[in-house]
Amino acid sequence: MLRNSSTLFSLISLAIALPACSAETPKLDGAWRATEVQGSPVSGPTFDISEQKVSGNAGCNRFNGPIVVDGSNVKFGPLATTRMFCEGKMELEAAYLAALQSSSRYEFSANTLSLFASDDTVSVKFTK
């Protein structure tokens, strides 16, 4: 009788634990490449997250700063940047940095990370 109870308990524990493993939120850590900023396709901007810090390239200048992730909520900044001028890249850079700092939540879909502004519009999309 004790053996059957132990087996039953083990099976129930396993049935409860397995779905929890598959529902785990993927980590944001690692390098990401922007594919879209405020609805427009882009190439160039990147970011890398490690140990609650973000760094990357905004198209011309490098940036870094803190990142806070709480569930699916995210907060970037304040971000520090270098101050070079790159002809033809400054508008994209300004839009990218503004989109990062205005992001309030994120979602994963396949190999895509989407950041959303507080009005629930997609501000930036990334791939790994």
CA distances (Å), 52 to each of 24, 47, 48, 75, in order? 19, 13, 10, 10
Q: Is the pTM of this model over 0.85?
A: no
The least confident of 18-22, 35-39, 53-57 is 18-22
Residue 119 has pLDDT above 70, yes or no: yes
* pLDDT tens column, 70-110: 999 999 999 999 999 999 999 999 999 999 999 999 999 88
The least confident of 14-23, 50-59, 64-73, 116-125 is 14-23
pLDDT at position 111 is 87
Is residue 1 in some structural domain? no
Is residue 78 in some structural domain? yes
At 77, which CATH number?
A: 2.40.128.270
Domain with 51, as residue range(s), is 26-127
pLDDT at position 9 is 46
Is residue 16 in some structural domain? no
Is residue 116 in some structural domain? yes
Domains of the chain: total = 1
